[in-house]
Structure 1
Amino acid sequence: MRAAKALSISQPAVTKTLAELEDIAGHRLFERSPKGVTLTGAGQILVRHTGSGLRAIHDGLSSLSAEEEGEAPALVIGALPNVGATVLAPALVRFAASSPRARVSVRTGSNAQLIAALKQGVLDMVMGRLAKPSDMQGLTFEHLYTEPLLLVVRPGHALTLRQNIDPALLDGYRLVMPDAGTRAREAADRFFMAVGTGLPLKVIETIDLSFGRSYVLHSDAVWFVPLGAIENELRQGTLVRLQIDTSATEGPVGLTLRVDPQPSESILRLLDEVRQSASERFGALSKSPDTQV
């Protein structure tokens, strides 16, 4: 009776619909008793699978209504600083042209911080490195491109005069490194262990690109930084890459989303723009001698 009242239909209509549903499923879905109706095991399985579908239909209808009423969908995107500057920014320019009423917030932070916020529902998607397997439960990752870390210095630095630099020489300089615990820092640490120098002792840790850039330009420090963060500076000559092979630090960069719920139409449109932006960037890098690893 409560179901009939909630749906604004008659009790016989509800009973008929439930019987038809059981015929379609080929299983008994409901247990009927004087106290009411409860789900059988088969009914509980069906509910688990139909719940996300019903939510997706509801979200789709809400999106259509918002479009008709001229409401601006709000998107909250998490991005590593280097990915936001190189891939997300041009994607958002195109997205804004096709969705002028859309409201977008971009949040930056470490990969771990962004992934945690995505799981909590604070973010709609994350653009960054592939998270640890233990952190990927309930999430999906779409690989877009692979990016290395580079060792860079200011123009005129003594190390720029050397070819095929021995990594052991880096011990004589302070290193600006990604924060401990980040995926980029793990790649950097693996590099130093692989070349046999051990982990550096004179280190400044930061993921703040503005600080890292300023510190290196005003000192003899060496910056271990993702390519995407400084590729424009390399082309312009305001930073110089050291001749040290860092290809071992390459890591997958891409899109991380929650498995459930289904992305909105606005998110799907933005995803297409991000994929195009990443494809264009990868093609440009492969042709640029200044940024090749």
Structure 2
Amino acid sequence: METKISFRHVSCFLAIARERHLGRAAERLNLTQPAVSKTLAELESLANIRLVERGRHGARLTPAGEHFLRYAIGVEQAMESAAGALQGPVTPPVTILELGALPTVASGIVPNALLRLRERHPQTGVRLHTATNDMLLSALKAGRLDCAIGRMAEPSMMQGISFELLYAEPLVMAVHPRHPLMSARHASPQSVLAYPLVVAPSGTVPRLHTDAFFDAHALHVPGNCIETLSVSVARLLARRSDAVWITPEFAARDDLERGDLAALPLAVTNAEEPVGLLRRSAGEPVELVETLAAILRELTLTHGGRGPARARRPIRRAPATRTRKR
């Protein structure tokens, strides 16, 4: 079988895996859809197994297809490296690292990591892609990302993906320093709901923890809250209004350290979110990914994820208050 499978079979399969649609895969390859269907049928016939489930709403990889995808990406990368070697570059080659990150992580640990990576590999470019965890995992499996900084997922989503824990961060409720709740004697979950909320979208891990916090107090997140993954928008809403921003701590760390925002003394218990490096578990180690992994370990072990850019100030929090016994 290995003597009959050609690179056109592999390229066709990868296009389908990345587009999840035969028509869009055909456009990507500048072919007709019947030609793509025929090539895929040839590959499945040679393998004697179905790799793609076709349907009215697109194409989905079977478990066998997910398994083959890991090795097909390696074939593609090897061909690209071989083609590059034949060209005989005159100038030092620029290597591009396709890095994915959760929005809250991108504003926390990523900047210092990229600065150190630049120092060690000046000829390296980085394309940073921010997205939800599910989108990062899909892009990583399809070979659109070299690695990502995100969270663990269900076992079915983690097939072919390894996870290296970097740190765990709690949720905080960030407000501007002059917020009424900062001087309230007894800030409570109920009192928080008297103000606009800025929260993560439904289905994300921070939102699941936020919902669980209010559920534990027989409350719920109101429908008129602002849902966003944009750290820049959320922080400005909290700084310019009485909105309460419920966020992973690293996303608000700069503002909390400078005193532009303060954390309410309301502990969101059992909500520490493990953040780690995600990468494909098959294939040869990628030098840039290994270097980035080492840098991330340095930052998280020695500086809590922030790096030595400046001395850290204590995070401003509202004074804790005693609750009355009933």
TM-score range, shorter chain: 0.7 to 0.9
Which residue matches 2:103?
81
Choose which of 156, 160, 166 in structure 2 pairs with 1:138. 160
C-alpha root-mean-square deviation of aligned residues, in Å?
3.2
Aligned 8 A contact 1:150 1:226 in 2: yes
Q: Distance in 2 between matches of 1:283 and 1:203?
A: 30
1:19-67 deviations in whole A, cap 9, x for unaligned? xxxxxxxxxxxxxxxxxxxxxxxxxxxxx9xx79x969959x86x9699
Choose which of 155, 167, 172 in structure 1 pairs with 2:194. 172
Choose which of 224, 234, 237 in structure 2 pairs with 1:215. 237
Which residue matches 1:200?
222
Which residue matches 2:315?
290
Distance 1:155 1:112, change over 3 A: same
What pairs with 1:100-119 in structure 2 (closer than 5 Å)?
A: 100-119=122-141
User: SS state of the match for residue 246, structure 2?
Assistant: strand
AA at the equivalent of 2:250:
G
Which residue matches 2:148?
126
AA at the equivalent of 1:268:
E
Q: Distance in 1 between matches of 2:127 and 2:75?
A: 24
User: SS state of the match for residue 230, structure 1?
Assistant: helix
The alignment status of 1:269 with 2:291, answered yes or no, reads: yes
Kindly, what percent of the aligned residue pairs are identical? 33
Which residue matches 2:29?
none
AA at the equivalent of 2:171:
L
Aligned 8 A contact 1:55 1:261 in 2: no
Q: Distance in 2 between matches of 1:233 and 1:111?
A: 24
AA at the equivalent of 1:290:
I
Q: Distance in 2 between matches of 1:56 and 1:118?
A: 15
Which residue matches 2:207?
185
Distance 1:67 1:77, change over 3 A: farther
Q: Distance in 2 between matches of 1:291 and 1:272?
A: 31
Aligned 8 A contact 1:81 1:109 in 2: yes
**How many angstroms does 1:165 deviate by?**
2.2
Distance 1:273 1:56, change over 3 A: farther
Q: Distance in 2 between matches of 1:288 and 1:194?
A: 32
**How many angstroms does 1:225 deviate by?**
0.9
AA at the equivalent of 1:99:
H
Q: Distance in 2 between matches of 1:204 and 1:111?
A: 20
Distance 1:56 1:142, change over 3 A: farther
How many residue pairs end up in the alignment? 244
TM value normalised by structure 1: 0.73
**How many angstroms does 1:152 deviate by?**
1.0
Distance 1:202 1:281, change over 3 A: farther
- More helix per residue: 1 or 2? 1
User: SS state of the match for residue 132, structure 1?
Assistant: coil
Which residue matches 1:24?
none
1:165-204 deviations in whole A, cap 9, x for unaligned? 2211122111100011112111211111123323334311
The alignment status of 1:281 with 2:303, answered yes or no, reads: yes
Distance 1:244 1:126, change over 3 A: same
Aligned 8 A contact 2:109 2:306 in 1: no
Q: Distance in 1 between matches of 2:247 and 2:316?
A: 13
**How many angstroms does 1:241 deviate by?**
0.6
Which residue matches 1:228?
250
Q: Which protein shows a greater Rg?
A: 1
AA at the equivalent of 1:274:
L
Q: Distance in 1 between matches of 2:117 and 2:209?
A: 33
